[in-house]
Chains A and B, each alone.
Chain A
Amino acid sequence: MSAPPVAEPQSTAVRAKKKVKAVSRQQLSFGQRLRRDWPLLLMCFPAMALLLVFHYLPALGNIIAFQDYNPFVGDDPLEAFLYSEWIGFGNFEYLFKTQAFWDSVTTTLSITAFQLVFYFPIPIALAVLLNSIMSPRIRSLVQSIVYLPHFFSWVLVVSLFQMMLGGAGLLAQTLRQAGHTPPEIMTNPDTFMFLITSEAIWKDAGWGMIVFLAALAAIDPSLYEAAAADGAGRWRRMWHITLPGLRSVIVLLLILRLGDALNVGFEQFVLQREMVGREAAEVVDTYVYYQGIAVQQWGVGAAAGLFKAAVGILLIVGANKLAHRFGEQGIYSKR
């Protein structure tokens, strides 16, 4: 026992108390525990009920993907569900034979890949840059300004882009007054990828810094001092101390992003699909929406949604395995 003798009596007392507690908990019967804990259970109940109706029930409802669901065979969705015909994997067969569906998958994946390269590093770079600013006043000023757009809705963000860069926007207005023809930015399908990535960066890159700033603050400053004493310059310190300090956070966020590879956002695309056309802006989520609710092919839409969810779970498990192989913790640890 290497603990200092002064602390000894107290720590044994604590341990003894814990032991008593543990024993007494085991001895309580179910009824006794229920009598003791019922208020806590009751407190959990409203949240559980809400989730049951609006989360788990619809999650269960995904089985209409295996039906030729027709809302008109019954008076309400439940009745329609009971009377609709079961068709096994018919919807999936139809889906996998449809070119438009695969187009939406391809578009989604290329957006994910593009944003991994051009979006993902920006919050990291911003955080490292901001962390190197000494003045706390400038730091908190910049932080409060760049966090702000995170709280804007996609409608607002797309609207602001439209007002700044659109055909009647500020940029076009300025260019026209100077005698130039303004470029088409908001409606050009070829540059749509740049546009949506810029919007995503404008909205969320600042907010994305938070995690990295916290990780940077957790790095022991004496490491930097020791490295400087050993003659490491600014860049070497960044390479050997700052980046390794961020490594596990970066890996964690990469895993989450990979697991979300088919999830690139929905409102952003629904809002701009009309402007740039279906070919550039159709992602899996908008396909689900237009197939299911707009065209009323409910079963096919649900099948596409289910396919997306299944791929998402596979991706996240796979990415996590990869992280373990690289010696990182990932989102859940190895058992």
Chain B
Amino acid sequence: MSADTVVRPRRNTLRPVWEEQPSLLGQLGKGTILTLVVAVVVVPLWVVVVTSLSSEKTINSAGGYVFLPREFNPSAYVVIFSGGQITDAILVSTIVTLAGTALSLVVTVLAAYGLSRPGTLGHRPILFYFLLTFLIYPGMIPSYLVVTGLGLKDNLLSLILPTAISAFNLVVLRAFFMSIPGELYDSARMDGAGELRVLTRIVLPLSKAVTAVVGLFYAVGYWNAFFNAILYIDRNDLQPVQRVLQQFILAGQSPASSGAAVAIPGLGSTVPPSLAIKMAVVVVTIVPALIIYPFVQRHFTKGVIIGAVKG
């Protein structure tokens, strides 16, 4: 029997030929599990968003959280963005995240590039210096003493500087820089380019994806900063969003009592229900991650695996 007499059935599946037909029960089981897993993540977020956009009437008739969207009522967002503690917190977190991520990225990229060529002066001891941070932890109390000793209490730098460098991110970036063919460096240097020029003109354009992932990791870290704020920030107008979230949701403080629910221009005197305001705060803490996430998501595996293999 020769191969060309065999009529191949048209297959509409990616399943390899040798694999047996999936059983109906198995497929159903897998489908159910995956749907459940996805629902467990999505449903809470859905409820939060819908409730944050609901009016007092809807919330009262639902008895609290709203599941089915019936209206689009952004008054809760108007309130939290129209001054008061929540607006301050959003501003503080935005500043810390932008400034912190910029600083972290610049410093980390520079160091990763400086370490990307084995054999240069001091390469091994400097690398060791960075890797040692994985093994030696600073400890909470001495850190507190150092930061307060530097006079950074109630200073936004206290939310940035102590967490500015992650040796893990540095190792990830360095591993990627090292994988760039050396000929590219050599040719650029032949043309008289200095190190900084090589870095900005050749290395960075080639490693946009990894740099983006590292940037996301840093940004998420700054946006989520919570405990350093407990330690170092006492002033109310310098608290980041995570602190506000904790005060409203977990400590049960009412947003109305915090000076947020001032008279809203254009919306009459109707103060939106405090549940909606709470939910709007939750949404605001989630949204930045949601915005950047899709752009870098496809590069995660690369970044994480490089770090795991070469670290």
Contacts and interface: CB of A to CB of B under 8 A. Distances in A.
A62 to B, nearest CB: 5
A306 B139 contact: yes
Interface string A206-224: 1000110110000001001
The listed residue with most B CB atoms (<10 A of its CB), out of A51, A158, A309, is A51
Interface stretch (B68-76, B141-149, B204-212, B257-265): B141-149
Nearest to B308: A211
A46 B300 contact: no
A283 B101 CA distance: 31
B114 A163 contact: no
Interface string A140-153: 01101111110111
Interface in B57-100: 63-65
Given A160-B44, A214-B301, A225-B16, A301 B111 contact: no
Contact of B227 (A62, A156, A176, A270): A270
A20 interface: no
A217 B34 CA distance: 20
A313 B169 CA distance: 22
Chain A binding surface, main DSSP class = helix
Given A50-B164, A267-B227, A305 B141 contact: yes
A40 B120 contact: yes
Contacts of B34: 129-130, 133, 138, 142
Given A40-B117, A228-B18, A305-B139, A266 B300 contact: no
A22 B4 CA distance: 58
Contact of B38 (A57, A142, A306): A142
B201 to A, nearest CB: 15
Given A153-B242, A159-B249, A160-B282, A210 B107 contact: no
A6 interface: no
A58 B287 CA distance: 34
Contacts of B137: 59, 309
A318 to B, nearest CB: 15
A154 B111 CA distance: 30
Contact of B245 (A47, A155, A168, A285): A155
Nearest to B145: A77
A292 interface: yes
A31 to B, nearest CB: 10
B149 A64 contact: no
Given A50-B165, A225-B18, A206 B170 contact: no
A151 B293 CA distance: 9
Nearest to A33: B121
Contacts of B133: 51, 55-56
Contact of A151 (B30, B162, B167, B289): B289
A229 interface: yes
A44 B300 contact: no
Given A53-B150, A292-B144, 11 more contacts: A61-B141, A133-B34, A134-B14, A145-B41, A145-B42, A148-B41, A148-B289, A163-B47, A170-B65, A176-B63, A298-B141
22 contacts: A30-B121, A36-B121, A39-B194, A40-B113, A57-B138, A61-B138, A62-B142, A78-B149, A141-B38, A146-B38, A152-B286, A156-B242, A160-B44, A163-B44, A163-B249, A170-B65, A225-B16, A225-B18, A233-B20, A271-B250, A288-B139, A305-B139
